[in-house]
């Protein structure tokens, strides 16, 4: 059962990577492409005013937990779930003892 769950998790991760790297989505928005400047208009503001507005030294957590508002709860849940899943998958397998 655990191996099936691990295999299913790896297949879901593989499918997500395939979508992210597909020419229509990941390469266009995440890695550059023609339209990348349209979606990067807030970068300069966050970099220039992040320390003044929020007072945090880590710009990533400033953006996720202070600037983004209500969707932060969902993003924090996704981040926590991803970390918990990675820990569960990378934990060494233990065989159950038959006594």
Per residue in 80-97, pLDDT (tens digit) is 999 999 988 887 766 666
- Of 23 and 63, the structure prediction assigns the larger pLDDT to 63
Q: What mean pLDDT, rounded, does the chain reach?
A: 77
pTM of the model: 0.37
Ranges of each domain in the chain: 1-33, 42-93
Q: What is the mean pLDDT of residues 67-75?
A: 70
Q: What is the mean pLDDT of residues 54-64?
A: 79
Question: By percentage, how much of the chain surpasses pLDDT 70?
Answer: 70
Helix intervals (H) in the chain: 2-20, 43-53, 59-62, 72-90
Q: Give, as one character, the DSSP assignment of residue 37.
A: G
């Amino acid at each position: 059962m655990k191996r099936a769950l691990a295999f299913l998790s790896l297949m879901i991760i593989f499918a997500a990577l395939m979508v992210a790297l597909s020419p229509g989505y990941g390469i266009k928005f995440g890695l550059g492409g023609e339209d990348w400047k349209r979606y990067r208009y807030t970068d300069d503001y966050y970099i220039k005013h992040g320390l003044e507005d929020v007072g945090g030294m880590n710009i990533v957590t400033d953006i996720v937990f202070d600037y983004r508002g209500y969707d932060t709860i969902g993003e924090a849940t996704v981040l926590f779930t991803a970390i918990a899943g990675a820990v569960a998958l990378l934990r060494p397998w233990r065989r159950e003892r038959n006594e």
